[in-house]
């Protein structure tokens, strides 16, 4: 119930204004977001890389209906990639892109624009020797995102994508993408989805995650295990026992279980941290609150005590 309310609020412009205008929100937001600008993003990247973890950076923003805004997002990624290159980070830091931030929802030629814009980011990433992973948004975008992935991979075969275990279709999508050269970031899924397309019970989502993980780990691609769930991480370790340590990786979000991130990396595993930055943090932040009721209590407490 709380999750559904928070996820509905994540898409409400009026609640957005309210939350963003409250200066007291800031200290809580800082737990999950690296900072407002590219300087903060590059500085956080340096800190994370320093203890053996890897990074994927997300320039925050989503659902744009404005072509100029989509272009500005592309420019921000090009700037970020240039800065990562200058800092010598591109061997272990890549970028994650939401197609809705680069034009997928534009009223005219949305998919075409998103493909062209994503292509520009891929060209820049390829030029500095790093990779791009496409985030996955709500289920209405899955076919479009996987279609754009296919197009991008013709020229940039290293482009990866996120699949969400809560969707009933995802086990089949994993089979389709478990081929050599493919990179799949498997997560549980963070949006409010109808029963017709998504498992609703946490236990069913977890079972689906394991089925998907089995397919990916048995396949020839590069699985990216994106979860903070200790049980799923243990299962992933078991399923990867026949694999070399450089043929898959674990991934977690910035600000969530950082000690566990370091422990997994120190044990000789690849561990990548998803680092979001920028001032369009509202939707991302609300999804993090929705994932864990304790975060809401933490948020409310800080409003009262700050
Ligand atoms: P679960 O929610 O069961 O959490 C397990 C444990 O992790 C909790 O008990 C708690 O200890 C800790 N935890 C989890 N979330 C927390 C939070 N917000 N705050 C504090 N502690 C928390 N989703 C999506 O729909 N599209 C996408 O593209 C992505 N991309 C993505 C990339 C990466 C690298 C990660 C790790 C996750 C995503 N997600 C995502 C989010 C994902 O779908 C999911 O909502 C969260 O990862 C939470 O699910 P867990 O697997 O961690 O399990």
pLDDT band at 306 (very low <50, low <70, confident <90, very high): very low
Structure token digits, residue 60: 């925050």
Give me the pLDDT at residue 171, please: 98
Residue 62 CA: distances (Å) to CA of 72, 188, 232, 284: 12, 19, 28, 9
DSSP state of 182: -
Name residue, tokens 């690296």.
34
Greatest Cα pair distance in the chain: 53
Nearest atom of ligand 1 to the alpha carbon of 227: 51
Choice among 8-17, 128-137, 197-206 with the minimum mean pLDDT: 8-17
Phi and psi torsions of 69, nearest 5°: -65, -40
Mutate to test the pocket of ligand 1, among 209, 292, 296 (most ligand atoms within 8 A of CB): 292
Q: Whose CA is nearest to atom 35 of ligand 1?
A: 226
Strand pairing partners for 272?
54, 251
Nearest atom of ligand 1 to the alpha carbon of 206: 3
Q: How close is the Cα of 127 to the center of ligand 1, in Å? A: 31
DSSP state of 58: E
pLDDT band at 114 (very low <50, low <70, confident <90, very high): very high
Give me the pLDDT at residue 294, please: 80
pLDDT band at 233 (very low <50, low <70, confident <90, very high): very high
pLDDT digits (tens, 9 = 90+) for 23-79: 767 788 899 999 999 999 999 999 999 999 999 999 999 999 999 999 999 999 999
Helices 2-9 & 293-305, crossing angle to 10 degrees?
70
Ligand 1, residues at Cβ distance < 6 Å = 135-136, 162, 164, 185, 187-191, 226-229, 251-253, 256-257, 274, 288, 291-292, 295
Give me the pLDDT at residue 209, please: 98
Give the HSE-up count for residue 122: Cα atoms under 13 Å, Cβ half-sphere: 23
Give me the pLDDT at residue 227, please: 98
Q: What is the ipTM of this complex?
A: 0.98
Q: How close is the Cα of 67 to the center of ligand 1, in Å? A: 30
Mutate to test the pocket of ligand 1, among 32, 96, 99, 190 (most ligand atoms within 8 A of CB): 190
Catalytically active residues are 135, 185
Q: Is 197 helix (H, G, I), strand (E, B) or coil?
A: coil
Phi and psi torsions of 63, nearest 5°: 60, 30
pLDDT digits (tens, 9 = 90+) for 138-174: 999 999 999 999 999 999 999 999 999 999 999 999 9
Tell me the torsion sign for CA atoms 245, 248, 252, 254.
positive
Q: How close is the Cα of 227 to the center of ligand 1, in Å? A: 5
| 161-165 own/partner pairs: CB under 8 Å, 24+ apart | 161/133, 161/134, 161/136, 161/185, 162/133, 162/134, 162/135, 162/136, 162/186, 162/187, 162/226, 163/136, 163/187, 163/212, 164/136, 164/188, 164/189, 164/190, 165/189, 165/205, 165/206, 165/208, 165/209, 165/212
Determine the Cα–Cα distance for residues 145 and 142; give it in Å rounded to an integer.
Answer: 5
pLDDT band at 304 (very low <50, low <70, confident <90, very high): low
pLDDT digits (tens, 9 = 90+) for 199-225: 999 999 999 999 999 999 999 999 999
Q: Is 102 helix (H, G, I), strand (E, B) or coil?
A: coil
Give me the pLDDT at residue 12, please: 83
- pTM confidence score: 0.96
pLDDT band at 85 (very low <50, low <70, confident <90, very high): very high
Strands 93-97 and 54-59: parallel
Choice among 35-44, 227-236, 280-289 with the minimum mean pLDDT: 280-289
Q: How close is the Cα of 292 to the center of ligand 1, in Å? A: 9
Domain ranges of the chain: 34-280
Above pLDDT 90, what percent of the chain?
84
Helices 230-239 & 202-218, crossing angle to 10 degrees?
20
Structural Rg of the chain based on CA atoms: 18
* C-beta separation of 181 from 221 below 8 A: yes
Q: How close is the Cα of 187 to the center of ligand 1, in Å? A: 7
Residue 298 predicted with pLDDT over 80:
no
Length of the chain: 306
Give me the pLDDT at residue 303, please: 61
Choice among 55-64, 105-114, 285-294 with the minimum mean pLDDT: 285-294
Name residue, tokens 């993980």.
213
| Mean pLDDT rounded to a whole number for the chain | 94
Q: Whose CA is nearest to atom 1 of ligand 1?
A: 229
CATH class of 34-280: alpha beta
């Amino acid at each position: 119930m709380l999750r559904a309310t928070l996820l509905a609020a994540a898409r409400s412009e009026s609640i957005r204004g309210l939350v963003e205008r409250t200066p007291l929100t800031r200290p809580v937001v800082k737990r999950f977001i690296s900072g407002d600008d590219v300087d903060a993003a590059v500085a956080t990247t340096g800190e994370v890389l320093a203890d053996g973890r890897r990074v994927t950076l997300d320039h925050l923003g989503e659902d744009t209906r404005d072509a100029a805004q989509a272009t500005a997002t592309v420019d921000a990624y090009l700037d970020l990639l240039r800065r990562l290159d200058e800092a010598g980070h591109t061997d272990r830091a890549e970028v994650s892109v939401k197609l809705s931030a680069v034009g997928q929802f534009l009223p005219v030629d949305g998919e075409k624009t998103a493909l062209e814009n994503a292509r520009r980011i891929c060209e820049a990433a390829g030029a500095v020797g790093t990779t791009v992973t496409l985030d996955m948004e709500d289920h209405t975008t899955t076919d479009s995102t996987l279609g754009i992935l296919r197009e991008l991979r013709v020229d940039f075969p290293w482009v990866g994508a996120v699949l969400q275990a809560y969707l009933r279709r995802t086990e089949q999508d994993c089979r389709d993408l478990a081929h050599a050269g493919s990179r799949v970031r498997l997560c549980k899924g963070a949006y409010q989805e109808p029963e017709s397309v998504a498992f609703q019970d946490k236990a069913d989502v977890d079972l689906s995650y394991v089925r998907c993980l089995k397919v990916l780990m048995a396949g020839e691609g590069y699985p990216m295990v994106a979860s903070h769930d200790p049980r799923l991480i243990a299962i992933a370790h078991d399923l990867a026992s026949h694999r070399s340590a450089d043929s898959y990786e674990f991934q977690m979000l910035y600000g969530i279980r950082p000690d566990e991130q370091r422990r997994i990396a120190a044990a000789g595993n690849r561990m990548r941290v998803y680092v979001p930055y920028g001032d369009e943090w509202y939707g991302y932040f609300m999804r993090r609150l929705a994932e864990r009721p304790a975060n809401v209590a933490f948020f409310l407490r800080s409003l009262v005590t700050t």
